[in-house]
Amino acid sequence: MKTLYNLLLLLLMLSHSTINAQRNCGQEIMLQAIETKHAGAREQIKAARAKLYNSNSTIQESISAPSGKYFKTTATPLIPVVFHFLLDSNTFKQLGNISGIEARLNSQMKVLNNDFNGLNADKIKVPSVWTSLYANVGIEFALAQIDPAGNSTIGYTLTIVPNASSFDVSDGAKDMKFSATGGVDAWDNSKYLNIWVGNIKFGGANVLGVTVPPATPLYTIPEYGIALHQFAFGVRTSFAQPFITNIDKGRTLTHEMGHFLQLIHTWGDDGGLCAGSGGNDDDMSDTPNEADATFGDPTFPRFDVCTPAGNGIMFMNYMDYTNDSSMYMFTKDQAARMNFEVGLGGTSFSLTLNRYLGDTQYKAPIEIKLYPNPTSGIVIFQYDFIKNPLLQVIVYNALGQKLIEKNDKNINSIDMSVLSKGLYFVQCKFANESLLQKIILQ
pLDDT of residue 307: 96
Residues of the chain with pLDDT under 50: 1-17, 56-74, 362-365
CA distances from 37 to 33, 98, 207, 211, 218 (A): 7, 40, 21, 18, 10
pLDDT of residue 433: 67
What does the pLDDT look like over 302-328, one tens digit per residue? 999 999 999 999 999 999 999 999 999
Q: Which residues are catalytic?
A: 256
pLDDT of residue 57: 43
DSSP string, 378-418: EEEEEE-TTTS---EEEEE-TT--EEEEEE-SS--EEE-TT
Dihedral sign for Cα atoms in the order 361, 362, 366, 367: positive
Q: Is 439:371 a contact under the CB 8 Å cutoff?
A: no
Give the CA dihedral 307, 311, 312, 313, nearest 10 degrees: -110
- 357/140 Cα distance (integer angstroms): 13
Q: Residue 247: what residue type?
A: I
What does the pLDDT look like over 50-67, one tens digit per residue? 776 665 444 444 444 444
pLDDT of residue 125: 97
What does the pLDDT look like over 97-114, one tens digit per residue? 999 999 999 999 999 999
Count Cβ atoms below 10 Å from residue 264 Cβ, excluding itself: 22
pLDDT of residue 206: 95
Q: Is 225:114 a contact under the CB 8 Å cutoff?
A: no
Which domains are seen in the chain, by residue range? 13-357 (3.40.390.10), 365-441 (2.60.40.3080)
- The answer, as to whether pTM is greater than 0.85, is no
**Beta-bridge partners for 235:** 249
pLDDT of residue 366: 64
- 207/426 Cα distance (integer angstroms): 38
